[in-house]
Structure 1
Amino acid sequence: MPVIRISRRTALPAEEAWLRLTDWERHGAPVPLTRTVITTAPPTRVGTRFTARTGVAGVTFDDPMEVTLWRPPSADAPGLVRLEKHGRAVRGWAEIGVHPLPAGGADVRWHEELRLAGFPRLFDPVVAAAGRRLFGHVIDTLLRDGSRSRGGRAGRDF
């Protein structure tokens, strides 16, 4: 099972970083030919479901997910959301943690373990590398171009 770990630092306050990273509809925008469809009523909470749908001309690939842990950050505690992936082609889970930094800003940690149907374990390193690149791009875009913009910028892996 490929393991993907990504860390970023941002000048955004933890609460703002959290809002941007958990704006599920915006997750598809940085991924070519992808849109995210929310299938439950707002607000986001345990039980919220959404699907990232990638494809063109009727040939689509769905990645349905469900929020199984929802703990927004507070002034003195990190936030954590856990998503379970329930698709035919993609199974596994992802966690996004947002940790307030003492001097301001936030440390973002994305940890994902996934299984792709039809891919032998031999390809796990390639899948993990592609996942780090793709999800890193999603994180950077969401932190940089959030609809609730207050400035700030994303850092690089460290």
Structure 2
Amino acid sequence: MATFSLERAVPLTPDEAWRRLTRWERHGDTVPLTRVTAGPPGPTRRGTLVVARTGAGPLAFDDPMEVTVWQPPGEGVPGRCRMEKRGGVVRGWAEIEVSAGPGGRARVVWREELDVRLLPSLLDGVLVRSGRLVFGRTVDHLLRHP
């Protein structure tokens, strides 16, 4: 399993950073051949299923993730979302934490553990570097664009 984390400090309120990071459909904006959906309709909550469909035609696969922790940021309380990956290809979890940082900036921490079926553990280092690149680009994009 490959585990990595990203941290960002951005000139946004924690509420705004949270809102931008949890607009699930936007997560596919920077990942080629990926479309993200969430359901059931309505606001995200425990039990929401977020599905990233990656690929084209017969080479596509789903990465379903169930929201198991949903705690938006509050007064003095960091926001935290945890998603458990439930797919047949990608397993593991992802966590997003948003808190108030110094100077009125939001502090964002993204942690992820990935286990890709049929990928030998020898390639975990490549998976960590790829994950940091792909998810870092996605986080940066989401935080820059309302």
Question: Do the aligned residues in 1 keep the contact of 2:4 with 2:111 (CA within 8 Å)?
Answer: yes
Report runs of 4+ in structure 1 exceeding 3 Å deviation: none
Q: Which amino acid aligns with 1:77?
A: V
Q: CA deviation at 1:56?
A: 1.8
Structure 2 counterpart of 1:87, one-letter code: G
Q: Which residue of 1 aligns with 2:106?
A: 106
Q: Which residue of 2 aligns with 1:129?
A: 129
Q: What amino acid does structure 1 have at the position aligned with 2:27?
A: H
Matched residue of 1:6: which SS?
A: strand
- For 1:63, give the aligned amino acid: D
CA RMSD, Structure 1 to Structure 2 (Å): 1.0
The 5-angstrom pairing of residues 28-47 of structure 1 reads 28-47=28-47
Q: How many residues end up aligned between the 2 structures?
A: 146
Contact (CA 8 Å) 1:40, 1:50: kept in 2 or not?
no
**TM-score, length basis structure 1:** 0.89
Which residue does 1:152 correspond to in 2?
none
TM-score, with normalisation over the residues of structure 2?
Answer: 0.96
| Contact 2:9–2:101, Cα closer than 8 Å, also in 1 | no
Matching residue's letter, 1:86: R
Q: Deviations over 1:63-85 (max 9, x none)?
A: 10110000011121111000000
Task: Report the structure, 1 or 2, having the larger helix content.
Answer: 2
Equivalent residue runs for 1:36-75 within 5 Å: 36-75=36-75
SS at match of 1:103: helix
Identical amino acids, percent of aligned pairs: 50
Deviations along 1:130-155, one digit per CA (max 9) or x if unpaired, are: 00000000000000012xxxxxxxxx
Structure 1 residue runs without a partner (length 5+):
147-158
Q: Partner amino acid for 1:67?
A: V
2:10 aligns with 10
User: How far did 1:58 drift?
Assistant: 4.1
Distance 2:42 2:10 in 1: 27
